[in-house]
Amino acid sequence: MGNAGVALADNAGAIFWNPAGLAFQTGTEVSITHSNWLPEFNAGLFYEYLTAKHHVPGWGTFGAHLTYLYLGEHEGRDAQNNPTGTFRSYDLALGGSYGVKLTPQFALGTSVRFIYSNLAPGQVVGAQETKAGVAAAFDFAGLYRSPRISMGTMGTTIAAGFNLANMGPKIQYSDNAQSDPIPTNLRLGTAVTFEFDEYNSLTMLADLNKDLIHTDTTTGIADPFYEALVSSWKPIRVRTNALNEDEAQYETLGALDLFTVGLGMEYWYGAPRLFAIRGGYFYENPYNGNRKFLTLGAGVRYNIIGVDFSYIYALEENSPLANTMRFSLLLDFGR
């Protein structure tokens, strides 16, 4: 749905979109998502995401998640371009989540995770041997869902949410002097659901997403995450061409230019839900990544089993995201 979902967050996948969404859920559920990563590169990269949630009456809803991103096998080279052997690169994250209602309409949520980033182990860079990066991070999120508003036979629900995700210390692959920030991120969103009757409903979503990272242009040192929560809102100056420095052209981007926009729609048929059709649009400033794509998807629910599928149609030429497909299997064990 165009990478929108912070105000929907209505299944175990809420752990990624907005852990506060767990608070509005009951029962036990497990899901796994698989996607070939950047398929246009044809490099055998892939992404796996496993989530689970369980509601404890009187306490709230707890969740767990495991993320694995395989980044391929590579051949190492030293400064003289001599082979140093092959190595495999991957990122791994493991964590827990919790969501609880403070009122019938408003909930807070959080996630904590351990991060293990094994990008180029055992290589020598600048007389230092590289190693896997290790870090920890946490999320803080909130979600509001209005009471159902009846308009004749149609009911309407409005939701709004935020997720301040991946806050934590820098990660290092050799020493402290070369540490890098982990991708702290702010996601804001809203959703409106129209229940036309017992069998038909339509949800419209909109998300704004911004990385909260700031690097000093003079020193090249990134701010710690708690400073970047403020400093990342400053305008930045980006180079817009690849010519030599004397002919370089620059553009200044304000805070709003650094947001990505995701718009999505989801139609459900059935009582209970049986079949879904989804679509969306994603936009990023041309000078800040320039990702633009449409998404299409569908979902089926039968008994305790759910299957979802999505497809990315890239709007720019030669996009590595083109033809990305994502598959999810969900097991809902009910109350």
- Choose among 52, 61, 126: nearest CA to 95: 52
Assess whether pLDDT exceeds 70 at residue 335: no
Q: Which domains are present in the chain?
A: 14-72+86-332 (2.40.160.40)
Q: pLDDT tens across 73-95, in order? A: 888 877 778 887 788 999 999 99
Higher pLDDT, 134 or 176: 134
| Cβ atoms of residues 295 and 2 within 8 Å | yes
| pLDDT of 302 over the 90 cut | yes
Q: Which of 4-8, 244-248, 258-262 has the lowest mean pLDDT?
A: 244-248
Displacement of CA 136 from its chain's centroid (Å): 17
How confident is residue 179, by pLDDT bands cut at 50, 70 and 90? confident
Indicate the length of the chain as a whole number.
Answer: 335
**Residue of 333 and 308 predicted with greater confidence:** 308
Which tokens in the block code for residue 308? 């979802």
Q: 327: how many CB neighbours lie within 10 A of its CB?
A: 13
Nearest to 112 by CA among 135, 100, 96: 96
Average pLDDT value for residue range 227-244: 86
Is residue 242 scored above 70 in pLDDT? Answer: no
pTM of the entire predicted model: 0.90
Q: Which amino acid belongs to residue 206?
A: A
pLDDT of residue 282: 97
Take residue 242 and report the two structure tokens written for it.
Answer: 């690849």
**What does the pLDDT read at residue 45?**
94
Q: How far is CA 165 from the centre of its chain?
A: 9
Cis peptide before 272 (omega within 30 of 0): yes
CA 201 to chain CA centroid, Å, is: 25
pLDDT band at 176 (very low <50, low <70, confident <90, very high): low
pLDDT above 70 for 244:
no
Q: For the chain, give the mean pLDDT.
A: 92
pLDDT category at 243 given cuts 50, 70, 90 is low
User: Which residues, including other chains, have CB under 8 Å from residue 82's CB and lie 6 or more apart?
Assistant: none
The whole-number average pLDDT for the span 184-191 is 97
CA angle 288, 290, 293 (to 5 degrees): 140
pLDDT digits 0-9 by tens, 197-219: 989 999 999 999 999 999 887 88
The pLDDT value recorded for residue 280 is 97
- Lowest-confidence segment of 6-10, 58-62, 169-173, 219-223 by average pLDDT: 219-223
- Give the pLDDT mean for 176-205: 92
pLDDT for 127 beyond 80: no
Average pLDDT over residues 169-180: 82
> Are 287 and 25 within 8 A, CB to CB?
no
